[in-house]
Amino acid sequence: MKYRTVAVYPQVDQQLNKAIALIASGSATAKQALQQAQAQSIAELTRAGQNI
């Protein structure tokens, strides 16, 4: 049986992908990239009406 995975919060998934790309390219440290991803994810989820 095959399962299809669906991202529950695609906004967060996109922010994590961007953070990983920044870390891998050396553009930002892991701490900086993840803090930025967290802040942007919270902002996007709040705009979408999610309670955090």
| R_g over Cα of the chain | 13
pLDDT number for residue 43: 94
pLDDT number for residue 6: 64
- pTM for the model stands at 0.78
pLDDT digits (tens, 9 = 90+) for 33-45: 999 999 999 999 8
Higher confidence at residue 18 or residue 3? 18
Contact by Cβ (8 Å): 14, 43 = no
pLDDT number for residue 11: 83
Residue type, 46: T
Domains of the chain: which residue ranges? 10-47
- Give the single-character DSSP code of 28: S
pLDDT digits (tens, 9 = 90+) for 8-19: 788 888 999 999
